[in-house]
Amino acid sequence: MAHVLEPKAKTLAEAGSDAPYGVIGDLDPRLRVVMACIFAITTVALTTIPALIAALATAISLLMMSRLPIRRTLKRMAMMDSFIIFMLVLLPFTMPGEPMFSVFGFPASWQGLWKAIEIGLTANAVILTLMVLVGTMEPVTLGHALHKLRCPEVLVHLLMFTIRYIEVLREEYLRLRGAMKIRGFRPGTNWHTYRSFGYLVGMMLVRAIERSERILGAMKCRGFSGQLILLQEFRMTRRDHRFAVLLGGVCVGLLFLDYL
Amino acid sequence: MHIVDGALSNPVVIGGAFAAAGGIAVGLKSLDIDRIPTAGVLSASFFVASLIHVPIGPSSVHLILNGLAGLLLGWAAFPALFVGLLLQAVFFGFGGLTVLGVNAFNIAMPAVLAWMIFGRLIGRGSPVQGAIWGGLGGAFAIAATTLFVAVSLALTGDEFLPAAKLVFFAHIPVMVIEAVLTGFAVLLARKVKPELFLKGSSA
């Protein structure tokens, strides 16, 4: 599903081989999901800047351990920052508190600045950990792990179907775009563009639905009963326990640092 | 539209998580085995459609199409859009983990509301009439989503109010674009596969 971003990259890095992600790749997927959640909840609970910096440092050291392409991952993280930067820049001006300086007569407050930094640190630490721990899995493995963690079966099915067909439908989308291009379509701010894009979306949906009917037929023919048959057995090893204790300890440490 | 971790207060995050869990549960109940492939394929196509960048003046916006998702899927749009958000957070780093519930609610609830209000109207009358209702549904879903985002921010603290207002006004062009595109998408679907919305309104 990931060539949505770049050609040939399956998840965040190359996929296909068994465990290309160093220490992280060998861990039990279930554990990675659970630890990512625990770390996220802990980080959101933190309120002091030093503790949050420590949390971000933890996330970055996890990134180092995972052998993910560091620049690309950080770039992706920065992409998220570009979405929130607007809100963060605004915060010092809208939060009441001690004035820091003023721009065109609007005072900026220290409290607002700290709040903005706090949000920025939290958001980056959590999303980075999530990408490192969970984003390095094969999407299908994620589905299986969620099923083992007692997610509703239908939801896991939905997830797996979505993962499977994002790829297929993107190819279809590119084919349709190619067909438009070859006929001289160039997008711009005009009615023709909007109509063409609308038809494009409509066509994609109609074809998707027809495809889903064929899929259902094919699946019924093979005896699909809504049950998930898992191809992978997950096993917790000693290393998994060690990792859990380590990261759990870090979380407790972060909370303690926050409390100080 | 994505809210990130750490921005919202705990009650809002927890409330959002419960609301989303409820919506997902209702949505899953409406999905029997026969509808799982349809919902999955549509969920994937909305994921792909959200990568389409539509030019608007010097800039461009990417589509959300939650209105259209709701019109086609009804309550099932809830788990379908949730899955999309989950994949975006995990593999692309958009949004966040603890705010997944709030984000899912903000995007999926308007989809369901659009279906409740406009779902039946789309299958009726001429294709053009259906398309107009569809366009209204698309605009409504985006308006409701920005409103929900604004409310989540406002509930967290007054300091976010200006940002919340800004989010709303910044999305007015997006509403127009989504309305036009959803309208045309419905128009095409009504002409090519008229039974689509008849089935959708009875499900």
Query: pLDDT tens, A102-113?
Result: 676 677 788 888
Across the interface, of B7, B43, B159, the residue whose CB is closest to A112 is B159
Give strand pairing partners of A106.
Answer: A103
Yes or no, beta carbons of A161 and B36 under 8 Å apart: yes
- Mean pLDDT is lowest, of A112-121, B111-120, B160-169, for B160-169
**A chain contacts of residue B6, beta-carbon cutoff 8 Å:** 43-44, 118-119, 121-123, 126
Q: Which residues are paired to B61 by β-bridges?
A: B54
Residues B117-168 pLDDT 10s: 998 888 888 889 889 999 999 999 999 999 998 888 888 887 778 777 877 8
**What is the reported pTM?**
0.88
d(CA A39, CA A62): 12
Q: Which of B40, B65, B162 sits opposite A94 (nearest CB)?
A: B162
Residue A13 has pLDDT above 60, yes or no: no
Q: Mean pLDDT throughout B49-55?
A: 81
Q: Are residues B174 and B139 in contact, defined by beta-carbon separation less than 8 angstroms?
A: no
Flag whether B100 is in a domain.
yes
B68 shares contact with chain A (CB less than 8 Å):
yes
Nearest CA-CA distance, residue A11 and chain B, Å: 7
> What pLDDT, on the 0 to 100 scale, is given for residue A3?
39
Burial profile A174-186: b = 16 or more Cβ within 10 angstroms, e = fewer: eebeeebeeeeee
pLDDT for residue B199:
52
Q: How confident is the model at residue A12 (pLDDT cuts 50, 70, 90)?
A: very low
CA atoms within 13 A on the CB side of A153: 8
Whether residue B128 lies inside any domain: the answer is yes
**Tens digits of residue pLDDT in A54-102:** 999 999 999 888 878 888 888 878 877 777 777 777 777 777 777 777 6
Over range A29-42, report the average pLDDT.
Answer: 92
B196 touches A: beta carbon within 8 Å: yes
- φ/ψ of residue B82, rounded to 5: -60, -45
pLDDT surpasses 80 at A1: no
Q: How far apart are CA B114 and CA B148, in angstroms?
A: 14
B162: containing domain: 10-202
Domain boundaries, chain A: 2-137+235-259, 152-221
Q: Indicate the number of domains in chain B.
A: 1
Angle in degrees, 0-180, between the axes of helices A191-221 and B172-192, rounded to the nearest 10: 50
Which run of H or of E encompasses A185? none
The alpha-carbon gap from A27 to the nearest alpha carbon of chain B, in Å, equals: 17
pLDDT of residue B10: 85
pLDDT over 60 (residue A11): no
Q: Would you place residue A2 in the very low, low, confident or very high pLDDT band (cuts 50, 70, 90)?
A: very low
* Chain A residue closest in CA terms to B165: A87
Contacts with B196 from chain A: Cβ below 8 Å:
206, 209
The encoded tokens of residue A106 equal 């609007």
8 Å CB contact between B68 and B45: no
Q: What is the pLDDT of residues B65-92, one digit of tens each?
A: 899 999 989 999 999 999 999 988 888 7
Across the interface, do A201 and B40 touch by the CB < 8 Å criterion?
A: no
What rounded mean pLDDT belongs to chain A? 83
Q: Indicate the burial class of A88 (C-beta count within 10 angstroms; 0-12, 13-18, 19 or more).
A: buried
Question: What does the pLDDT average to over A234-243?
Answer: 87
CB B40 within 8 A of CB B28: no
Q: Return the pLDDT at B17.
A: 92
A110 C-beta neighbours (distance < 10 Å), count: 13
| Secondary structure letter of residue B75 according to DSSP | G
Q: Chain A to chain B, count of Cβ pairs less than 8 Å apart?
A: 257
The pLDDT, as a whole number, for residue B78 is: 93
Cβ separation B65–A201 shorter than 8 A? yes
Looking at CA atoms only, how far is residue B73 from chain A in angstroms? 11
Look at A196 and A226; give whichever has higher pLDDT.
A196
Q: Do B87 and A95 touch (CB under 8 A)?
A: no
SS3 state of residue A146: helix
Instruction: For residues B85-106, give the mean pLDDT.
Output: 87
**ipTM above 0.90 for this complex:** no
Please report the pLDDT score of residue A114 as a whole number.
85
Cα(B174)–Cα(B138) distance, integer angstroms: 10
| A174-178, B6-10, B127-131: least confidently modelled range | B6-10
Cα(A253)–Cα(A188) distance, integer angstroms: 54
- The CATH number of residue B84's host domain is 1.10.1760.20
Nearest chain A residue to B43 by CA: give it.
A162
| Cα distance between residue A178 and residue B57, in whole Å | 23
Identify the H or E element spanning B55: strand B53-56
